[in-house]
A and B are shown apart, each in its own frame.
Chain A
Amino acid sequence: MNTSQSLVYLIALPLAGAALLLLGGRRTDKWGHLLATALSASSFGVGLYQLSQMLGRSTEARPVSQKLFEWINVGTFNVDAGLLLDQLSICFVLLITGVGTLIHVYSISYMSHDHDRRRFFAFLNLFIAAMLLLVLGDSYLSLYVGWEGVGLASYLLIGFWNQKPAYATASKKAFVMNRVGDMGLSFAIMIAFATMGTVSFAGVAEQVENTSEAALTGMGIMLLIAAAGKSAQFPLQAWLGDAMAGPTPVSALIHAATMVTAGVYLITRSNFVFDAAPTAQLLVVIVGAITLMFGALIGTAKDDIKKALAASTMSQIGYMILAAGLGPVGYAFAIMHLLTHGFFKAGMFLGAGSVMHGMNDEVNMRKYGALRKFMPITFATFGLGYLAILGVPPFAGFYSKDMIIETAFNAGGVKGIILGSVTLLGAGITAFYMTRVMILTFTGTKRWDEDAHPHESPWLMWLPMAVLAIGSVTSGFLLSRGDALVNWLHPLFEHHEEHEHHLLEPIVVSGLALTMVAIGVAIAFVKYSRQEVANIAPENVSVFTKIARQDLMQDRFNEAVFMRPGQALTTTLGATDEAVIDGTVRGVGQLAMSSGSALRGLQNGFVRSYAALILVGAVALIAAIWVVVQ
């Protein structure tokens, strides 16, 4: 494999930014945000350079690697700190640094009144560095460092305003639920080492054919758990809604465009494992299908604009996971949807931030309305993202989502029909809840609080939104033109030259999808545009709405099954440790003491206890010598 000495700069630049800003303290307040933005942009520059180099090489010679140093080397457990940039990771590198830089720019203005803006930018840079390590590491263990690194950055940024107890709790919840997923990753690495003797991607890929399906299935399931934790997939999805406590640029970057898609990366990167473990692969599809419906349903009931978008993110990642679970035919489409989603969802989140910026940080859409006239640029960019997520041609989502629906139908048999129907239905519900967001926010009547004075955001904020909107319009077309992305990624995934039977013709799928979208839009239109929207959420709603508002009871479930029993156990152990274990020891001590007190005249407590101990020791001694003599 070719080597490149400049891969490390991708990570080192933003990492240096984080270190400088954190260690430099208040001295760097004035220019810290500019430095951080510049470093993120430089990293993007290095990424572009790498892409140009890669394009100049033949297909087989495209991946490049860089060995940094020997990291952990014990017995046969040998892991180098090594980086790998191939056709898959370059997609992520450009997404992370590109969208990341735009969000840095946006944040300069969005966070300009925050006392701790420097710290915010330091954490953003830390995130970029960790996320790049995640996608550039050449082994599961180096991926793990990035994996928990982004978890840490996410924790720090969700809890950026942790003086509010609810926000502090949200950040802790995110970290702990992520750690459950991380545990899955730990297990996967242990299984890989115990069965294949290696933890590098290349090593595992090579050993797959010598390994039993049972082991691969185990490893695959563990990787799926890891992916579910990081990508907010069922059943580890409950943290994402609360994560919206973080500043909105964070929601756009980490909890929409990049970090939450790491699970999709992990599964596509581990394609060799899943391709050889059909059971694990099927579970991936099931998790994706459940989550895509789960998120979509929650999205229909949320009045908080960020939480509605978060539910949507969960659902859209469900699409990606589902696609990744379809095997070689699906990997490229998972990545394509991941990239287009990165544009339109990040754009919409920034739009939501722009709206909040103009509305005194109000997040309740029932208190919005008619903002189209007051925030035309935000409306336009958000609207383009809206068209993209709906999958209206020729916007980005049309290409990426339709391919997933089509591939799902083509999975064959009952499985194909079920998966296809779920993805179609999901598209309809997506159209419904996104139209609801659009109507509640931008059209209709004003339902503002009295002190609201909505205004368009400054250019530093709308410029990144505009760039992302361009991506929302064009990225799908560009990536699918001549199967550009599919062909680009093709060498990484094993393709079976089987006859791809088509259950439905592509044009039929598009027609069906558009019909579902039209129905979704129409229902939302009738429900929210034709009637007055209450500025307080109505209480007399269906049971379904009530459940959906509570995130389909996910928190209730976790509390009842894990949290409360856990707390009870913790409290009990805390109490019994003192009483039972220490008590037993004290009892034994007392026993020895009382035999010691038989020795008259030794009234001093300390002396008495020494005496007791000497007695115990003497007994032990005699016993030992007796054993030896025996």
Chain B
Amino acid sequence: MKWLTLLMLLPLAGAAVIAVLPKGNEKAAKQSALVTTLVVMTATIAMAVGFQRDNVDLQFVEKYSWIPSFGINYALGVDAIALVLILMSTILAPVVVLAGWNEAHGGRWSVKTFYILILVLETMMIGVFAATDVFLFYVIFEAMLIPVYFLIGGYGSGERSAAAVKFLIYSLVGGLLMLASIIALYVMSGAQGGHTFDINKLSQLQMSSMTQNLLFLGFFIAFAIKAPVWPFHTWLPDAAQSATPGTSVLLLGVLDKVGTFGMIRYCLTLFPEASKTFTPVILILAVISIVYGAFLAISAKDIKRLIAYTSISHFGFITMGIFAMTSQGQSGAILYMFNHGFSTAALFLVAGWMISRRGSSTIADFGGLQRVAPVLAWTFFLAGLSSLALPGLSSFVSEFLVLVGTFTRYPVHAIIATFGIVLAALYILIPVQKALHGPTTPGNENLKDLNLREKLAIAPVIAIIVVLGFYPSPLLKVINPAATHVISQMGFTDPAPTNGGK
């Protein structure tokens, strides 16, 4: 069964159904989108059940010739890393649709268009993780910008056009650098046994270290912008502030993961030597991201920007884990990608409900929310605890794995990063105090608590956060072999206990 193609076609089919719906039937469009995303989620889970977790080769492989004259194939396949990210994406999609039931209203275009864009985006989210042909990956990587651009520019708030353009420019610049590297790889492959975009063949190319370094940078900068890693991060707060909450979840939760996913799949696989050369620099950027993102989050006045800054800090952890080259760091980073999706989704969706009720995203405009809308307030608090990686919640497992995995090889980096956990307590508890505690701020007296639809949307997210905090084993068992494989491909083994030099 062609699982991956099926997964990619299902959202497109849903989009087609919505497109032919009679004009103005917004409810049917929403329902179709919800049903479609639920079907995709179910199909993904069904596919995941058949995944052989001890097999580190690509699975569910499909390959068709697409543009034969250039050796371009429509080639798909997933390893555990891609599988976990596709799972995350397709679980988040129905949550986003249900949570943001009314967020398409007030957009530049129709509600129907909004859901078509969401579904098209879902197809691309699956495709970008599943592509095993570098050219196909690049096409989807760039094409994804289009629906996101329209989702921000057409349905966002505030200076949405400017934010959308900024997002687009940053992404395009990165994408073009990557394209240059890809073409170079293609040209070289021609000289070494035939033109190809197949990632496995490209990874065996012989090239000088200078070439490798330059091409590596082309990829890495593209991914560092996407992730985003300091100092390529400034597009994110603007985009997150302007996008609708649901779009932000997809942007930060899924699209940004393409950056960190790409670092593992492309940077490490295609350029192992260059990756090692740049590791010291990248680790420093990662540590800066962790601390810098946290400080900016502490200073943030706008709740959406705050969440975007916390993500910069979290992506710092992920990047650090990837390049620490230990099994704990690598597994931790991959698990972190999954957990961060849900943690950020919880924060953004609840913040979105707060904002739509209050008509403002300034933290100081809230106040005393706990007494006015307790369920809303406590959900926000729980989401915050997940963001500050409270032990017992899923994000703790991944964050601690990254830290301990980094410590065994790069203790100084890990020590500085660990200070991030104190900063995290501040950047969560400060807004919690301002928005939820204290006397009720005038204008907040009549804010409504969560309704049934909203509770239904957030409940699975919270459940995942709690359950995976205590029982991450099922996921770790899938991730571990892939993580160990990455490390050993790079020629690393975990450092043995040092006994402190005795």
Contact = CB atoms under 8 A, between A and B. Distances in A.
A69 B438 CA distance: 41
A540 B6 CA distance: 83
A148 B390 contact: yes
Interface in A140-162: 141, 144-145, 147-149, 152, 159, 162
B: contact size bracket? 35 or more
Nearest to B406: A190
Given A76-B494, A573-B292, A609-B169, A620 B476 contact: no
A58 interface: no
A223 to B, nearest CB: 15
Contact of A195 (B368, B439, B500): B500
A560 interface: no
Contacts of B218: 620, 624
A214 B438 contact: no
Contacts of A207: 497, 499
Contact of A574 (B299, B328, B331): B299
B177 A620 contact: yes
Contact of B169 (A589, A621, A628): A589
B425 A176 contact: yes
B203 interface: no
Interface stretch (B89-97, B119-127, B358-366, B416-424): B416-424
A577 B218 CA distance: 24
A577 B500 contact: no
Nearest to A588: B173
A239 B355 CA distance: 33
Contact of A162 (B179, B300, B370): B370
A216 interface: yes
A380 interface: no
A172 interface: yes
Interface string B180-194: 110110011000000
B249 interface: no
B169 A163 contact: no
A357 interface: no
A34 B292 CA distance: 48
Given A165-B438, A179-B421, A628-B188, A609 B173 contact: no
B373 interface: no
Interface residues of A, number: 76
B201 to A, nearest CB: 16
A141 B392 CA distance: 11
Q: Chain B CB within 10 Å — which of A75, A189, A606 has the most?
A: A75
A210 interface: yes
A528 to B, nearest CB: 38
Contacts of A164: 438
B5 interface: no
Contacts of B7: none
B437 to A, nearest CB: 4
A235 interface: no
Interface stretch (B27-35, B67-75, B100-108, B426-434): B426-434
A168 B473 CA distance: 37
Interface in A155-190: 159, 162-165, 168-169, 172, 175-176, 179-180, 182-183, 186-187, 189-190
B499 A75 contact: no
Given A179-B421, A613-B172, A569 B295 contact: yes
Given A172-B430, A193-B404, A582-B234, A625 B184 contact: yes
B452 to A, nearest CB: 14
Given A211-B502, A570-B299, A617-B176, A627 B471 contact: no
Contacts of A214: 500-501
B429 A176 contact: yes
Interface string B346-362: 00000000000000000
B174 to A, nearest CB: 10
A77 interface: yes
A538 B237 CA distance: 53
Nearest to B502: A212
Given A148-B391, A570-B299, A77 B476 contact: no
B484 interface: yes
Interface in A197-215: 197, 207, 210-215
A602 interface: no
A70 B211 contact: no
Contacts of A629: 187
Contact of B180 (A179, A194, A573, A624): A624
A119 to B, nearest CB: 9
Contacts of B392: 145, 148-149
B368 A152 contact: no
A627 B419 contact: no
Nearest to A194: B408
B327 interface: yes
B397 interface: yes
Contacts of B418: 183, 186-187, 190
A72 interface: yes
B183 A75 contact: no
Given A163-B437, A573-B299, A182 B421 contact: yes
Contacts of B477: 73
A75 B426 CA distance: 33
Contacts of A617: 172-173, 176-177, 179-180
B165 interface: yes
A196 interface: yes
B411 interface: yes
B499 A163 contact: no
B473 A69 contact: yes
A623 interface: yes
A569 B496 CA distance: 39
B180 A620 contact: yes
A625 B407 contact: no
Contacts of A470: none
Nearest to B388: A179
A436 B298 CA distance: 43
Given A70-B473, A75-B484, A168-B438, A180 B407 contact: no
Contacts of A623: 180, 214
B470 A81 contact: yes
A333 to B, nearest CB: 30
A71 interface: yes
A508 interface: no
A210 B502 contact: yes
Contacts of A190: 403-404, 407-408, 411, 414, 418
Contacts of A616: 173, 176
B215 interface: yes
B295 A570 contact: yes
B307 interface: no
B497 A624 contact: no
A212 B498 CA distance: 9
A598 interface: no
Contacts of A71: 470-473
Given A69-B471, A216-B500, A573 B327 contact: no
A74 B334 CA distance: 12
Given A73-B476, A190-B407, A616-B173, A574 B300 contact: yes
Given A74-B405, A76-B494, A624-B183, 6 more contacts: A190-B411, A193-B408, A210-B502, A211-B499, A570-B296, A584-B231
A-B pairs with the 10 shortest C-beta distances? A215-B500, A617-B176, A197-B497, A574-B299, A212-B500, A75-B327, A212-B502, A168-B437, A624-B180, A162-B437
Interface of B: 165, 169-170, 172-173, 176-177, 179-181, 183-184, 187-188, 210-211, 214-215, 218, 231, 233-234, 292, 295-296, 298-300, 326-328, 331-332, 368, 370-371, 385, 390-392, 396-397, 400-401, 403-405, 407-408, 411, 414-415, 418-419, 421-422, 425-426, 429-430, 432-433, 436-440, 470-473, 476-477, 480, 483-484, 494-502
24 contacts: A71-B473, A75-B331, A75-B484, A77-B405, A145-B392, A149-B391, A163-B439, A164-B438, A172-B432, A172-B433, A175-B425, A176-B422, A189-B400, A195-B498, A207-B497, A215-B498, A570-B299, A609-B165, A610-B172, A616-B176, A624-B181, A625-B180, A627-B184, A627-B211
